[in-house]
């Protein structure tokens, strides 16, 4: 099979349109190295690209993506842990000032957990990873009289807040947060609407940003 034509076409457009505008910046980044101040932990979902959502230039964001934008709690063992490695590099080497957990609507991983979906393979890698959602599901509580859509939304948002809790289990993160040198944030992107909501720890809810505020009421833990 040949290399995907869509990627060749996209690169051609990049080379003829964006690269000339960004050439100087790319050369600077190559010579001086990267120094992003913001790490974004996002979902692998193809509809939720942090660089697109935040209109970021090359070198502005250090992005780590996985299913459902999760971070496991700190586990100091010899296991190979991609998220822990990315976090360690961002905090210890790049010395980012902000970590943003970017959750989103219509998250397939969260929905699969809520539906108790059957494994996609004998290894059930997704199921094992999504077990990290269990503490969030406990905080959200049973579905009750809520619609399934509202329940999933609550779970998507709470999972981002639980990830903030998990980040604080990493000693390097906890120390810098307590010293005021690192700040943690949770955000929620509406795929269909393009709305971005940011968690307000004082109001304990996600609030829409970027235009007239229209609070999305959702209680969460305080930080």
**Contact assessment for residue 68 and residue 159, using Cβ atoms and an 8 Å cutoff:** yes
Query: Do 110 and 27 have their domain in common?
Result: no
Query: Do 18 and 106 have their domain in common?
Result: no
Query: Do 127 and 77 have their domain in common?
Result: yes
Number of domain units in the chain: 2
The alpha carbon of residue 171 and the mean position of all alpha carbons in its chain are separated, in whole angstroms, by: 20
Whose CA is closest to 54, among 96, 108, 102?
Answer: 102
Q: Is 80 exceeded by the pLDDT of residue 211?
A: no
Query: Do 49 and 15 have their domain in common?
Result: no
Within-domain flag for 219 = no
Residues 63-113 pLDDT 10s: 999 999 999 999 888 677 899 999 999 999 999 999 999 999 999 999 999
Pairing mode, strands 98-104 and 38-43? parallel
Query: Do 15 and 76 have their domain in common?
Result: no
Sheet with 183-189, side-by-side order of all strands: 61-66, 38-43, 98-104, 183-189, 196-200, 205-209
pLDDT value, residue 216: 46
Tokens of 15: 């080379």
pLDDT value, residue 26: 95
Query: Do 184 and 108 have their domain in common?
Result: yes
Q: Which residue has the higher pLDDT, 120 or 219?
A: 120
- Give me the domain span that covers residue 21: 1-33
Within-domain flag for 218 = no
Q: Is 60 exceeded by the pLDDT of residue 155?
A: yes
Residues 10-31 pLDDT 10s: 999 999 999 999 999 999 999 9
pLDDT value, residue 106: 97
Within-domain flag for 220 = no
Cβ neighbours, 10 Å, residue 113:
24
pLDDT value, residue 1: 87
Quote the mean pLDDT of the chain: 92
Q: What is the pTM of this model?
A: 0.91
Query: Do 14 and 117 have their domain in common?
Result: no
Query: Do 143 and 48 have their domain in common?
Result: yes
Q: Is 70 exceeded by the pLDDT of residue 214?
A: no
């Amino acid at each position: 099979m040949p290399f995907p034509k869509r990627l060749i076409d996209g690169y051609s457009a990049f080379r003829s349109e964006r690269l000339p505008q960004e050439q100087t910046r790319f050369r600077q980044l190559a010579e001086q190295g990267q120094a992003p101040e913001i790490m974004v932990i996002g979902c692998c979902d193809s509809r939720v690209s942090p660089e697109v959502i935040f209109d970021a230039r090359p070198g502005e964001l250090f992005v780590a993506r996985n299913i459902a934008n999760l971070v496991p709690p700190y586990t100091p063992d010899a296991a190979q842990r991609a998220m822990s490695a990315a976090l360690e590099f961002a905090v210890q080497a790049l010395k980012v000032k902000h970590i943003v957990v970017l959750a989103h609507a219509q998250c397939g991983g969260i929905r699969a957990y809520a539906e108790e979906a059957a494994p996609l393979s004998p290894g059930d890698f997704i199921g094992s990873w999504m077990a990290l959602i269990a503490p969030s599901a406990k905080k959200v509580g049973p579905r009750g009289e809520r619609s399934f859509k509202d329940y999933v939304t609550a779970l998507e948002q709470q999972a981002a807040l639980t990830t903030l809790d998990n980040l604080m289990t990493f000693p390097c993160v906890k120390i810098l947060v307590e010293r005021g040198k690192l700040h943690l944030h949770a955000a929620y992107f509406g795929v269909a609407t393009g709305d971005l909501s940011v968690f307000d720890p004082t109001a304990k809810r996600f609030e829409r940003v970027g235009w007239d505020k229209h609070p999305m009421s959702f209680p969460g833990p305080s930080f």
